[in-house]
Amino acid sequence: MNRQILTDSEIPMIPVISESEGKSLIDRLEQTRALSRAEWTALIHGRTPSLAEYLFERARRTRIRYYGKDIYIRGLIEFTNYCRNDCYYCGIRKSNKNAVRYRLSKDQILSCCETGYQLGFRTFVLQGGEDGWFTEDRITDIVSEIRRRFPDCAITLSIGELPRESYRRFFDAGADRYLLRHETYDSAHYSRLHPASLSASHRQKCLWDLKELGYQVGTGFMVGSPYQTAENLADDMLFLKELNPQMVGIGPFLPHHDTPFAGQPAGTLELTVFMLGLIRLMLPKVLLPATTALGTIAEDGREQGILAGANVVMPNLSPAQVRENYLLYDNKLCTGDEAAESLKILDERFCAIGYHIAVSRGDSLNTENSDAPG
């Protein structure tokens, strides 16, 4: 059956739920921190604006219980946009001949950290395409040097799927955290978003490896990616519950004009914030970023994310000249409030809704892997 050609009302098997059934599912989620696959599907499929408001009130209450009104910041350093992979959605995919490629040198990366440290950042996130130039030795060397110069900071890597042994070396060199979105749990859906060389099961294996090695792990998925169904999102929730990561990054899919998905519709703010609220109730202590993609899809997207239970933002620390080249999707925020220099403006925006930026490492209260060094 090709789901694509069915309208929402024609999709069989998803039970229609009433407002009161929706509320009781949300109540049970708050109490037990779990739902079944059928319940997740029904709640996601049957969401309404008033159910969303009911959810967000509870998600805010949970977030405030554990994290108060603090918003943690992470300095994002997009250090290379070369990539060996060809993900159909991503603007820096290998086949995009129009992407202007760049790599930061070790000194440039260190000076981003220095600038960030002065601004109050205590977590540096090194994110990039899967770039073979940055060999295991080179990454290990960069991580060791950041660790030596900034002993009170957390170092987060987000450089894709690598052998367990590479992950182990980076961890031993001082990396504490790793972000690797699972993108979508369902292997059939995964294969509609990626070339055959990539698989959902390998990506998930990497996440289990990272966790076993002692990393604080972040995973997540795109909301509204092409062909995604409510069942796919239900599976994503079940996977998150099982993995129990320290961080979950989700954001709307946004098309990039030079990719095979150029003509696909974007995900919505509405569904993204609904999913944020659900994740906050399922994993009360998780670190939940209001992502750049959320800030890109709507002017007040990040504020709406915070009001749905998010508690992290990741401003850009990359040098201004290269920012516009790390274009994962069209219109990606890379100046203005997104720029780390504008931290004060960002803080003012959050103050206006009753929250504030906190300067600390902002470790997850989900302590399972918290004995990481540094």
Tell me which of 22, 75, 129, 362 binds ligand SAH, using CB under 6 A.
Answer: 129
Residue 222 sits in the site that holds ligand SAH (CB under 6 A): yes
CB of 250 to ligand SAH, least distance (A): 8
Contact region with ligand SAH (CB under 6 A), list: 42-50, 136-144, 157-165, 362-370: 157-165
Write out the two tokens for 57.
């009130």
Cβ proximity to ligand SAH, 251 vs 295, nearer residue = 251
Tell me which of 178, 329, 350, 355 binds ligand SAH, using CB under 6 A.
Answer: 329
Q: How far is CA 136 from CA 163, 167, 223, 232, 373, in A?
A: 10, 9, 32, 34, 20
Please provide residue 121's backbone torsions phi and psi, each rounded to the nearest 5 degrees. -75, 135
**Cα–Cα distance, 231 to 44 (Å, whole number):** 9
CB of 156 to ligand SAH, least distance (A): 12
Q: Residue 332: which of 291, 286, 283, 273 has the closest Cα?
A: 291
Tell me which of 183, 209, 303, 337 binds ligand SAH, using CB under 6 A.
Answer: 183
Tell me which of 41, 81, 123, 158 binds ligand SAH, using CB under 6 A.
Answer: 158
Q: How many residues are recorded in the chain? A: 374
Residue 280 sits in the site that holds ligand SAH (CB under 6 A): no
SS3 217: strand
Contact region with ligand SAH (CB under 6 A), list: 65-73, 193-201, 253-261, 307-315: 253-261
Q: Judge whether 184 and 199 are in contact, CB under 8 Å.
A: no
Residue 153 sits in the site that holds ligand SAH (CB under 6 A): no
Q: Are strands 70-73 and 123-128 parallel, antiparallel or unpaired?
A: unpaired
Residue 328 sits in the site that holds ligand SAH (CB under 6 A): yes
For the chain, strand residue ranges (E) read 70-73, 75-80, 123-128, 154-158, 177-179, 216-223, 247-252, 312-313, 356-358
Cβ proximity to ligand SAH, 62 vs 229, nearer residue = 229
Name the DSSP class of 30. Answer: H
User: Residue 282: enclosing H or E segment and its boundaries?
Assistant: helix 269-282
Cβ proximity to ligand SAH, 253 vs 355, nearer residue = 253
Cβ proximity to ligand SAH, 70 vs 236, nearer residue = 236
48 in the Ramachandran plot: left (φ > 0), alpha (ψ -120 to 50) or beta?
beta
CB of 181 to ligand SAH, least distance (A): 4
Tell me which of 94, 181, 241, 361 binds ligand SAH, using CB under 6 A.
Answer: 181
Binding-residue total with ligand SAH (CB under 6 A): 19
Site string for ligand SAH, 66-105 (x = CB under 6 A): -----------------------xx---------------
Residue 254 sits in the site that holds ligand SAH (CB under 6 A): yes
357 in the Ramachandran plot: left (φ > 0), alpha (ψ -120 to 50) or beta?
beta
Contact residues for ligand SAH, defined by CB under 6 A:
89-90, 127, 129-130, 158-160, 180-181, 183, 222, 251, 253-254, 256, 293, 328-329
